[in-house]
Structure 1
Amino acid sequence: MKKVMSLAMAAVIALAGFGLTSCGQADPVDVSVMALKGPTAMGMVKFMDDVDAGDVTDNNYEFSIAASADEVTPALTKGEVDIAALPANMASILYNNTDGNVQVLAVNTLGVLYICETGDTVNSVADLKGKTIYASGKGATPEYSLNYILEKNGLEIGKDVQVEWKSEHSECVAALANDENGIALLPQPFVTTAQTKNPNIRVALDLTEEWDKLQEGEEAQGTMITGVIVANKEFVENNPDAVEAFLSHYEESVNYVNENTDAAAELVGNYDIVPAQVAKEALPECNIVYIAGSEMKDKLSGYLSVLMEQNPKAIGGQLPEDDFYYGQ
């Protein structure tokens, strides 16, 4: 009996030497995670709350919320952050600018762009003919997405539709209030924020739906994608178990957020992403998802291909190789 016990103890010691417990679990890994204020962070709130409550202890997770992508990208490329939620096109730009040292783990937010007005004149893309659209995001995804949808519907910017670019979403809302015939391109949750201040603002078109209509006949169908979860590739290669654990918790969090709007909205407010009341109204319209594997690759590669056609600079000059997509 002593000999059996000694062998068992020796096995535990040997496993410990490899950083494993007798159950085959890896030792906890430090995982630094950063997300942007808005939809890309909303799907993560249950995961964050479980960590803070001590309910998730498999790894040492540290979360932070940034106000802009300019805070996230340098931290990720320098290895100060392991995993981050970023705009989809920014992930491609980082991949191209770091010789492939960024890998996308999952799609976490589909399109959040909406055409809004205070009247009732727009019910299809065709109705935008002769209109002026107030928008922000020139040189970024909002511009390329709007251009794609207008052009594929036979509308020429500058001729059929005028686009007046503003520096901030709030300027678009102000322009909308001052022009009874005005139309604005706004993202969630800003749409909901604007509606709380001006109940006359209505959502006329969901650009994600309009994008999907245009993709129906395409051989490789993509969809409008706002945000993705990315990771430092070196971290992924060195910590495969930690990455899988993170994705499992994240998927559970996304499902919780989508199925428990009121409770999730409180968490969104607690983490100062947007006020809880705004989150309660906005969450169902934020298109928060968890899409991984081959479906992620199909949808994201299709989306990036459209941006590539619009402006190669939007994705860093060229489409990413297959190693950009985790698990592919």
Structure 2
Amino acid sequence: MQFNRREFLKITAALAAAGASPALLAAAKEQFTVYGAPALPSMIIAVAALQGQLAKQADVSLKIWRSPDQLRAGVASGQFKVMMSPSNVGVNLRNQGRKVGMVNILTNGITQLVCKNKAVASPQELAGKKILVPFKNDMPDIVLQALLKKLKIDAAKVGITYAATPAEAVGLFLSKDFHAVILPEPMASAAMLRGKMTDVTTVRGFDIVKAWAQAFDTKPLIPMAGIIADEAYFHAHKAQFDTFHQDLKNALAWISGHRAEAAKIGKNYLPAPEPALVAAIDGARLTVTKPSEIKTEILHFYEILMQFNPKLLGGKMPDSGFFLA
């Protein structure tokens, strides 16, 4: 909820006259903290936290985790109750005994292939190329490896170098001898923007989501990431989650019509400048979808991962209780 200074002073004066402390009143609001990923869907969460109805009831805030390992540690410690996660990580955590479940999907495919000088126009053209991939054994790498295996492209002929984070991958891609890099938005757009500033010619390569759809005969969407939550916390705060879901849908609609303003909000949370955030919106395939609405597609994605590497899901498909909404 946003107040201007005059409204704030009026409320403060009224509270003081009533003998109440504004600080104590603020402290009485329940915390509703969402731990977001360093990727564009967190901009939806940021806008919802600022503009949504839930902010009238709770102290809604967004904090960004920096790596999937930090996400896993936060869940394991019990500190993280509501968090954006690669969609396989939630299943993996649940199969390890962590009582978490899926609340929504926020992107239908966020990774982009950015190339230097000339576009890599198809997955087959990756053979003989040197490419960078952040987060080894996590979503960008999982999608690439599964795609190569399905298309019978020898992964040994693709020169893959791993970076710890997308930001590190951008720096290496622009400064070293790499043909391409796989990046989540907004870092893909940030890499292209930085390339222009440093006289490095960058172009987008083949559409990873479309290539996936053709290879696996699916709809052109990959349910890559969304919000998961501690199961007990979710059920204890069901009304708040219902409100927050609508806040997220409203936030996404607002972002679509107010891109520059959304980028000003997003820059406070994401490691990319405003122009890159604006440019990233179209390529991020943003959505706010309950898992029950696309359960078939999500389960198909998990079935593909099980065939490729069961360890990515903790060895088995999720039980029915995993889908919370």
Settle same-fold status: TM greater than 0.5: yes
Distance 2:140 2:63 in 1: 25
Q: 1:198 aligns with which of 195, 198, 203?
A: 195
1:172-321 to 2 correspondences below 5 Å: 173-175=171-173, 177-179=175-177, 182-199=179-196, 200-216=201-217, 223-271=221-269, 274-321=272-319
Distance 2:169 2:268 in 1: 27
Q: Is the 8 A contact 1:115 1:206 kept in 2?
A: yes
Structure 1 residue 77 displacement after superposition = 4.5
Match of 1:5 in 2: none
User: Per the alignment, in what secondary structure is the counterpart of residue 279 of structure 1?
Assistant: helix
Amino acid at match of 1:206: D
Distance 2:129 2:74 in 1: 41
After the TM superposition, which of the residue ranges 165-174 and 117-126 deviates more from structure 2?
Answer: 165-174
User: Per the alignment, in what secondary structure is the counterpart of residue 231 of structure 1?
Assistant: strand
Structure 1 residue 207 displacement after superposition = 0.9
User: Per the alignment, in what secondary structure is the counterpart of residue 102 of structure 2?
Assistant: strand
1:18-37 to 2 correspondences below 5 Å: 30-37=31-38
Q: Is the 8 A contact 2:209 2:220 kept in 1?
A: no
Q: Is the 8 A contact 1:113 1:207 kept in 2?
A: yes
The normalised TM-score by structure 2 is: 0.79
Distance 1:182 1:146 in 2: 15
Q: Is the 8 A contact 2:101 2:323 kept in 1?
A: yes
Q: Is the 8 A contact 2:291 2:298 kept in 1?
A: no
Amino acid at match of 2:324: Y
The count of aligned residue pairs is 293
Structure 1 residue 243 displacement after superposition = 1.8
Match of 1:42 in 2: 43
Match of 1:162 in 2: 159
Structure 1 residue 50 displacement after superposition = 1.8
User: Per the alignment, in what secondary structure is the counterpart of residue 143 of structure 1?
Assistant: helix
Match of 1:22 in 2: none
Match of 1:103 in 2: 101
User: Per the alignment, in what secondary structure is the counterpart of residue 164 of structure 1?
Assistant: strand
Structure 1 residue 104 displacement after superposition = 0.3
Structure 1 residue 140 displacement after superposition = 1.9
Distance 1:270 1:171 in 2: 21
Structure 1 residue 38 displacement after superposition = 2.0
Q: Is the 8 A contact 2:32 2:61 kept in 1?
A: yes
After the TM superposition, which of the residue ranges 120-129 and 257-266 deviates more from structure 2?
Answer: 120-129
Distance 2:241 2:266 in 1: 24
Unpaired runs of 5+ in structure 2?
1-28
Amino acid at match of 1:57: K
**Which deviations, in whole Å up to 9, do the C-alpha atoms of 1:32-86 show, x marking residues without a partner?**
32212222311112112226xx984134434323323344434445543432111
Mark the CA change 1:271 to 1:142 in structure 2 (over 3 Å): closer, same or farther.
Answer: closer
User: Per the alignment, in what secondary structure is the counterpart of residue 225 of structure 1?
Assistant: coil
Match of 1:92 in 2: 91
What RMSD in Å do the two structures reach over aligned CA positions? 2.7
Mark the CA change 1:267 to 1:175 in structure 2 (over 3 Å): closer, same or farther.
Answer: closer
Mark the CA change 1:106 to 1:62 in structure 2 (over 3 Å): closer, same or farther.
Answer: same
Q: Is the 8 A contact 2:106 2:227 kept in 1?
A: yes
**Which deviations, in whole Å up to 9, do the C-alpha atoms of 1:207-248 show, x marking residues without a partner?**
1121122233x5xx6842331111111012222212211211
Q: Which has the larger radius of gyration?
A: 1
After the TM superposition, which of the residue ranges 229-238 and 64-73 deviates more from structure 2?
Answer: 64-73
**Which deviations, in whole Å up to 9, do the C-alpha atoms of 1:262-309 show, x marking residues without a partner?**
111111124455332321222222222111143332222222222222
Q: 2:118 aligns with which of 116, 120, 132?
A: 120
User: Per the alignment, in what secondary structure is the counterpart of residue 318 of structure 1?
Assistant: coil
